[in-house]
Amino acid sequence: MTSLSIPGKPRTFLLGALLLLLAIALVAYVAQSPGKDSGKPPANAASGGAGTPQASKLRTTSGVELGSRGKSGNRKPRPTQSELPDAPYQIKELTPKLARRLLAEFKGDNLFLNGLTTLDANTARILAEFKGRILNLDGLTTLDADTAKALAEFKGELLSLDGLTTLDADTAKALAEFKGGNLFLGGLTTLDADTAKALAEFKGAQLSLSGLTTLDADSARALVEFKGDYMHLSGLTTLDADSAAALAQFKVSNLQLPGLTTLDADTARALADFKGSGLYLGGLTKLDADLARTLAEFKVSNLSLKGLTTLDADLARTLAEFKGSGLNLTVLNTLDADTANALAEFKGASLFLFGLTTLDAYTALELAEFKGADLRLNSLTTLDANTAKALAEFKGSRLHLNGLTTLDASTALELAEFKGADLSLYRLTTLDADTARALAEFKGSELNLSGLNTLDADTAKALAELVAMF
């Protein structure tokens, strides 16, 4: 048996002390317990027992406050948010105190609070102190003017409120004071003239109203006072001639209308007066001769028809009359030699055909007749030596083939004959030594191979020689 001893103290002293402690504990227990027949509640429950008007409030270590008891005597927990979730987007509500704590703890550059569905002005004022680039509050569906005014003090680059479904003129005017470059309001489906006029005062570069499904002429005329670079109206699926004429007066550089799936000749003619840098009509999937002629008369610098998947030679010849600098036919996925010959007549600087995944040598030879500076075929996934030889005949300064992930030596040798300044193959991930030596024959000023991620020793040596040449 293990013995218990305390150095320097008699065993009898220890025994007496233990008996004394037991007696004290017994007295305390009796004092706190109700008598079996007394009918009285415990002494410490005088203000909170069952059947009493109030229960004492207790705060647990987790920050949960326990309030009044129900009829059954069970306590009903009333949560108070004192802890922040691991990710900001999980936050469902914010007080000013929690908002300040969030900003102190959050170290990122982009703050996504799209779980918030309500926000008051005081909390918004604190959130506006966030020092990052993006403040996303897409969970808000309504916003008053005071809260909008507070949010407009945010000093970042982008304020996103894509969840707002309604907006009055006063709130719009407050938001327009935001000094960042980008204001996103993609949840709005309608816009009256007064609200449009208020939003047009926004001085940033990009205003997104991508949720608008209709826009009348009066609202369009008010909105065109916006002087930024980009106006996104991608939700519009139809447009009448009067509204188109109003939109054509926009002073923005780029007008985005990719939601339009059809365009009649009158509406197209009205839009033709837009004098910005780029007009994006990516929703059009087919053209007739009249529409092609009208589009060719547009005054913009860059015409984007990203929705066209097919194009015959006659329509291509008509589009080639476009007088701007860039023609973008991004999803055109087939091209025959006759159509290529027609497109090559385009007198602008840039021809983008990102939708083509294959190209034969005859069609490539016709495309190579394009007299512009920039030919981009960034979706080609295969290329044989004969087609490469044909493309190398292109007399422009930039040839981009950024869809290729592999390249053999014979094809590389033909591409190296391209006489322009810039040959881009940045999607190539591997390269053998023979192919690297073949590319080393390229005499231009820039060869982009930034996608390479594995090299053997021989290829590395060949590339080193190539780098030395540049």
In a structure prediction context, what are the per-residue pLDDT tens digits for the chain, which is 470 residues long? 333 232 333 333 333 333 333 344 443 443 444 443 333 333 333 333 333 333 322 232 233 232 333 333 443 343 344 566 667 878 899 999 999 999 999 999 999 999 999 999 999 999 999 999 999 999 999 999 999 999 999 999 999 999 999 999 999 999 999 999 999 999 999 999 999 999 999 999 999 999 999 999 999 999 999 999 999 999 999 999 999 999 999 988 999 999 999 999 899 999 999 988 899 998 999 899 999 999 999 999 999 998 898 899 999 999 999 999 999 998 898 999 999 999 999 999 999 999 999 999 999 999 999 999 999 999 999 999 999 999 999 999 999 999 999 999 999 999 999 999 999 999 999 899 999 999 999 999 999 999 998 778 888 777 777 666 65
What's the burial of 30, exposed, middle or buried (CB within 10 Å: 0-12/13-18/19+)? Answer: exposed
Give the C-alpha separation, 328 to 464, whole Å: 36
DSSP 279: E
DSSP 118-168: ---HHHHHHHTT--SSEEE-TT-----HHHHHHHTT--SSEEE-TT-----
What stretch of H or E contains 232? strand 230-232
Q: Give the phi and the psi of residue 285 in degrees, each rounded to 5.
A: -105, -15
Sign of CA dihedral 177, 182, 188, 189: positive
pTM here? 0.73
What's the burial of 11, exposed, middle or buried (CB within 10 Å: 0-12/13-18/19+)? Answer: exposed
> Where do the H-state alpha helices sit in 41-120?
96-105
* β-strands 398-400, 230-232 pairing: unpaired
